[in-house]
Structure 1
Amino acid sequence: MFKSTLAAAVMVLAGSQFALSADYTMRLSHGDNESNPTHLTAVKFKELVEQYTDNKVEVQIYPNNSLGAETEVAQSLRMGSVEAEILYTGNLMPLAPSAGVLMLPYAYKSTEQAHKAMDALLEPLNERITQEAGVRALGLMEKGFRVLTTNKPVETLEDLKGLKIRVSPNDIAIQTFKSWGIEPIPMDWAEVFPALQQRVIDGQENPYTTAISSRFYEVQSDITEIHYMMWTGPLIVSERVFQSYPDDIKEAVVKAGREAVDYGRQVSAEKTEEAIAELKERGVNLHGAPKDEEKWQAAAQALWPNFYDQIGGAEWANQAVDIIKSSAN
């Protein structure tokens, strides 16, 4: 009893000494659980920031939206009352429309191209979102292409018709699904699983890893790789807070952010393969790409000019599209 009490006291003392030795505290919020690549990226970021700053910066991680919904926390970053966040790009768009270029449907043909494009877009994107939302992206992580989970096989556009599909409350996703001949249902994330369970909706779209971490295999029988959009999520910091740091801390935070995102991409690839294997074991039917995928792609890409006004204007959209296209070479 005495030993355990002493050990606990030592741990508390050590923690308080670390807190006292840290010059800065960085709270990092995200919306996923501890098994998700988002959280593993956050943990790597914490490790690297504390290492590269010699513990001058302490990073505290708040998973599962424990500091608030993603858009709310992004607003807090603008004010400087929260320091960092990893969030879905679609939830940054209300504050930083220019980030929407990452969500153009069928922009990427492969994961490799997506990484090249996102890395090339990072600096020009920061020039815009620091002004639009008061946040700076340290890196752009991804969790793979969003796949369509349903309670029946979907192998053609015809199979999709009549299904009630949940999409994130984002106009790009909404209009893309409308171009495929259905009326999608925008719905907050917290409502999705019970809605699937109660058959209020027939399906949803998210990466393979989400189908595991959110246990969608319990309520969905089929998956189609529609490839229309990659889940992208910037690791952002408050620009107001970032500019308050001395130069050595800024450099350390930027370096840690980029390395953490690279790590997160690697973990995401590994977790995706694990998720696919587990879904097969659980009896989920994986159909691969639609048999008429070119029809899905043509309908969605035809919408691109319609989105330009809401993603920062035609000039920026064309600049970003050129960067994305050049990354395919």
Structure 2
Amino acid sequence: MKKLHVLMLCAAVLLLSVVGVQAKQVVTFSGVYASGEAAVDVQFKFKELLEERSNGEFEVRVIIGSAMGGERDHFEAASQGALELIAMGSGDVALFENQLSYNEIPFVIRDRDHWFAYWENVGAEINEEILKKYGVRTLGVMYRGPRYLTSNRPVYSLADMKGLRLRLPENQVQIRIFQGLGASPIPIAFHEVYSALQTGIAEAQENPIMSIYGYKFHEVQKYLVATKHIFSTAKFQAAESWFSTLTPDQQKLVQECMEEAVAYGNSLVMDRERELMEEIMASGMVYIEPPELDLEGIRAQALAIVGEMVEEGLFRKDLYEKVLEL
């Protein structure tokens, strides 16, 4: 009888341990951002918050640095349910629904406040469309700061853009707009940008401050021009096939932890941008900003080109007009 009692007790302990193992969800949170990026800090902050507040119910496995592929790979994996959580830019719209990628069109988003207004309104509508069509839920968006032009010759106005050998990514919308501004865009792979600037193949490029500093473009460029033509975004998304299996309380917890982690990331971006700007200026770069920079004149010309693309049906007119009205 005693032996039977011991066996039953052992069985109960084993059952409880199995239940405990089954109850703990291991979630993969993979992203395209490298160490040092605020978006990576968001990933680890989310891991910390969710594991702590769920009392160990969740274990979050963080993967960074595009180890699981680029933006297309991440989005497709989440859409197919192969990854629970992903961190990437606006690749969901830029790669799959380009006619909705208003935040990636140069000079459409005016400033930081406009960026936040966009994601609270039109961007939120677009996120819902992405969810319905692809099964990928946006849990949060983080402000990554504006993109600046760097150049080896000064740029004050449209006249100075003429013939500027500007490195751009292989994005036809961006290429068309900068061509319309007078520049001579050169598509060059990102890992070749530094050498292209150093050798003179390209004489200008554009990126956020963190990338300009991190990849040392300021070492081979003389002028930093505050075009702020695109305000970069990091998106944190969940596979709906996973999210929908969670209880309402779990869904609420995941959403709250992500919102808190993103707020943390936003504060980091602002602080780091100020610090890096000071270091870049200390290196000897010349900063060109309004009123010396005729940003309004450049922007007006860019939006005229965007208007042509809207009329051609490349972008939805109703949403584009709504973006400009925000």
Into which bin does the TM-score normalised by the smaller protein fall?
0.7 to 0.9
Q: TM-score, normalised by structure 1?
A: 0.83
Q: 1:291 corresponds to which residue?
A: 293
Larger radius of gyration: 2
CA RMSD across the alignment: 2.5
SS at match of 1:166: strand
Q: TM-score, normalised by structure 2?
A: 0.84
Q: Deviations over 1:136-173 (max 9, x none)?
A: 11122121111011222222222222222122322332
Q: Is the 8 A contact 1:98 1:128 kept in 2?
A: no
Matched, 1:53 2:45: no
1:236 Cα deviation after fit: 1.5
Q: Deviations over 1:215-245 (max 9, x none)?
A: 2222222210112211122112222222222
CA–CA distance in structure 2, aligned partners of residues 101 and 166 of structure 1: 21
Q: 2:251 corresponds to which residue?
A: 250
Identity of aligned residues (%): 25
SS at match of 2:121: helix
- Call closer, same or farther: CA 1:74–1:227 in 2, change over 3 Å: same
- Call closer, same or farther: CA 1:213–1:220 in 2, change over 3 Å: same
1:323 Cα deviation after fit: 5.4
Q: 1:100 corresponds to which residue?
A: 101
State the AA in 1 paired with 2:81.
G
Q: 2:150 corresponds to which residue?
A: 149
CA–CA distance in structure 2, aligned partners of residues 99 and 29 of structure 1: 24
Q: 2:10 corresponds to which residue?
A: none
Q: Deviations over 1:26-71 (max 9, x none)?
A: 3223333221222122222222222333332222222221111122
Q: 1:11 corresponds to which residue?
A: none
- Call closer, same or farther: CA 1:96–1:264 in 2, change over 3 Å: farther
1:90 Cα deviation after fit: 4.7
CA–CA distance in structure 2, aligned partners of residues 297 and 270 of structure 1: 27
Q: 1:300 corresponds to which residue?
A: 302
Q: Is the 8 A contact 1:21 1:55 kept in 2?
A: no
Map residues 247-326 of structure 1 onto 2, 5 A cutoff. Answer: 247-289=248-290, 291-308=293-310, 309-311=313-315, 313-315=316-318, 317-318=319-320, 321-322=321-322, 325-326=325-326
| Count, aligned residues | 305
Map residues 79-158 of structure 1 onto 2, 5 A cutoff. Answer: 79-90=80-91, 92-97=93-98, 99-158=100-159
Map residues 153-302 of structure 1 onto 2, 5 A cutoff. Answer: 153-289=154-290, 291-302=293-304
Q: Deviations over 1:103-143 (max 9, x none)?
A: 23333333123223312345322220113333111122121
Unaligned runs of 5+ in 1: 1-18
SS at match of 2:289: coil
Q: 2:7 corresponds to which residue?
A: none
- Call closer, same or farther: CA 1:216–1:132 in 2, change over 3 Å: farther
